[in-house]
Structure formats: C-alpha cells, structure tokens
Amino acid sequence: MMVNIKELSQIPERLTGGHRLCGGCGATIAVRQILMGTKNPVVVGSATGCLEVSTTIYPYSAWKVPFIHNAFENSASNMSGVETAYKAMKKKGKIKEDIKFLAFGGDGGTYDIGLQALSGMLERGHNILYVCYNNEAYMNTSVQRSGATPYGADTTTSPAGKIKAGKDRIRKDLTSIVAAHHVPYAAQATISNWKDLVTKAEKAFSTEGPTFINVLAPCFRGWRYPAEKTVEMSKLAVETGYWPLIEVENGVWKFTYKPSVRKPIADFLKPQRRFEHLFQDKNKHLLDKIQEQVDEHWAYLERLTSVSCLGEAPAV
C-alpha cells in the first residue's frame, strides 16, 4: 500500500487550483486525497452540488481528467452507463488501457435523492468507486437538512427555536446500508486522517466490483466554525467517536483506527454554531442524548467487528 507522504507529494494533481470552492472546504481536500489512490487513468462523474458547480464553470474546468456532470440524483447511474460502454469497447479491442471510474455525490445526492441510483449501481456490480463527500446538509442551496444531518443540528429547514431544538431525527447509517448490498469494499473516512483515506481509496480502486467510501468533509459555512479549523473539526469527529473510521471488506467489518480514549461529544459540537443552542441549560438533556447515540453506535460497531473477527454468529 502507498502510504508514504513523500510519494504522495510527487503525484500530479488531478484537481487543480483556481476553482471557486471556498477556502477551507473539506470536499476539496477529500477529492485530492481520493485521487491519490490510483495512478491509472480516471473518468470522474459528479452529481450537481458544490463540487460540481464550483469546479466546472463554463468555459473553465479545474479537472485534469475526463469529467462528466450528472444531474443531482444520477451520478451512480450515469457512471454505470459509462463503465458499461468502456467494457464493451475494451472487449472489441478499441480500448487497451485499464481505466478507473469514480462517481462523486454530496450527502443530498447520495443519502437522499441519489440513493436509488447508488443501490442499482451496487446491485448490478459495476466496477466503480462511489464517494460520498458528506458535509451533512444541502450546503450548495442554503444549508437545508439532509438524511445525513445529525440530530440536534440547526439548519434552514430544521431551525432551532421555541418549537424544536434543531433536527429531531437521527441521520441515516448509509455505510451500513451500502454494506448490506454485500459489495466487496465499503468504508468510512475523513480528511484529517489522510493516510487512512488514501489507503482506503487505493484499496477501493484496486478492488474488482462496486466500492464505496463515505468521507466526512466538514463545511465551515454550514457548520459555522472558523474556516481554518476544517481539519481540526474532522479530527474531533474521529476522536469523539462521532465519525468512526471503519471498513467492510468482503463482509468483514473492522476499525482502521480507534482512539485510545474517546473524547466527549461536546468537544466536537461546541465549536460549531449549528449546535450552539444545545449548550443552553434547558437543552442539556439533548447533549446527553447525543452522547448516548454516539455510545450506542460505537457499541454496535464493536459487536460487528467482533463478530467479523471471530467468524461466528452472534450469541443469542
């Protein structure tokens, strides 16, 4: 596995500077790290969202690879067609190169309106890496809540006020949903743990069949923290257990990193103004509830990884 930072620094950039994404954007960092996972030619497709609209403003493009703009919901299905055409042309001898296919979608285009297309791609077995750059809301259209938005977050469609204290539903567990398709490789990662993310990307690109990585990519505008804190926020998500670093390889679940002592979830929530209402005295019980949610999910993952290691059915 390629994990040496000196080697990584020598890989030519495939997403260049000069795009219109925000300074401090987590998605940009995620894309660059993902693309370091292969030296093969890559065809990239991206659903409508921050990543697409900010990197491909006509007549300019920040991409140094073939890039396809997809509608909001069909990045997975469009790339399925491209990958199928490639296989047909390769079978006829018209293409000799080993080309990789990479589909990007934000959490809105993946957790919500693109879930059907993603499920179809996984079920049909296309040889595509699908990456969800997950910033936990519809950031490109004024921070509306998505299926990835966490419990208690203040968004424009789940505002914190007198009636409710932010979003009153827990986020979907998309990584588990993907794993339930019995794909050869699925993982969660984030930008602060670059070695972990690049290694997972390399593993996904080199695996035959559909693969998936759910990358937590903090958005300072929607999460409302100082722009220079993006990587720090990402690291706090891992160290508090809010965003576990896991992978599921041929049905075997495992942690790729576990903090020796998990920090309290408040350490992750407090720097973000989308959660500032939770630190009022009247909402202390909600903070406790979020900590319980994190602990329960961590215990769920520990059971899964334990069962995977033993290769046995769970005790009844």
**Model confidence pLDDT, tens digit, residues 254-264:** 999 999 999 99
Over residues 28-51, the mean pLDDT reads 96
Distance of CA 73 to the CA centre of its chain: 16
Q: What is the pLDDT of residues 263-315, one digit of tens each?
A: 999 999 999 999 999 999 999 999 999 999 999 999 999 999 998 764 544 44
User: Which alpha helices (H) appear in the chain, and where do they start and end?
Assistant: 5-9, 26-35, 50-55, 75-91, 107, 115-124, 174-179, 194-206, 220-223, 230-239, 266-269, 284-310
What pTM was estimated for this model as a whole? 0.95
CA dihedral 209, 213, 214, 216 (to 10 degrees): -170
* Per-residue pLDDT, 309: 60
Distance CA 25, CA 46 (A): 17
Write down the pLDDT at residue 3. 65
Q: Which residues on neighbouring strands pair with residue 15, listed in sequence order?
A: 63
pLDDT band at 11 (very low <50, low <70, confident <90, very high): confident
Q: How far apart are CA 195 and CA 190, in angstroms?
A: 10
Which residue blocks in 74-138 are alpha helix, DSSP H?
75-91, 107, 115-124
